[in-house]
């Protein structure tokens, strides 16, 4: 089943880069939501029936999601440590450090 954002390969080819990015992002969010919903409802067996390309996309997307979550956690932890360190400084020390 050929699927195109605009209904045809020719229409997709004419999409601007910005429109194409918007379409790709929307499609990715929909696919991600479907996979999460299927997993949440115990439908993992259905995921096994998907094409190898779709399974590969899911594995890659899961890895990207995990990496983003780790990165977000590291940013939050760094901010927490920074705030704790800044609390230890006097106003004069902060001024000397241009903080």
pLDDT tens sequence across 75-90: 999 999 999 999 999 9
Rounded to 5 degrees, what angle do the CA atoms 82, 86, 73 make? 15
The tokens of 96 are what?
């000397």
The Cβ-side half-sphere exposure at 27, using a 13 Å CA radius, reads 13
Residue 35, pLDDT above cutoff 90: yes
Residue 4, pLDDT score: 67
Residue 51, pLDDT above cutoff 60: yes
- Would you place residue 21 in the very low, low, confident or very high pLDDT band (cuts 50, 70, 90)? confident
For the segment 7-25, the average pLDDT, to the nearest whole number, is: 80
Taking each continuous run of H as one helix and of E as one strand, the counts in the chain are 5, 0
pTM: 0.66
């Amino acid at each position: 089943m050929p699927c195109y954002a605009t209904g045809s390969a020719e229409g997709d080819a004419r999409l601007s880069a910005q429109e194409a990015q918007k379409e790709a992002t929307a499609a990715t969010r929909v696919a991600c939501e479907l996979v999460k919903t299927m997993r949440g409802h115990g439908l993992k067996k259905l995921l096994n029936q998907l094409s190898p390309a779709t399974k590969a996309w899911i594995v890659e997307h899961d890895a990207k999601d995990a990496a983003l979550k780790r990165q977000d956690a590291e940013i939050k932890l760094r901010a927490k440590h920074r705030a704790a360190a800044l609390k230890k400084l006097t106003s004069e020390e902060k001024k000397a450090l241009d903080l």
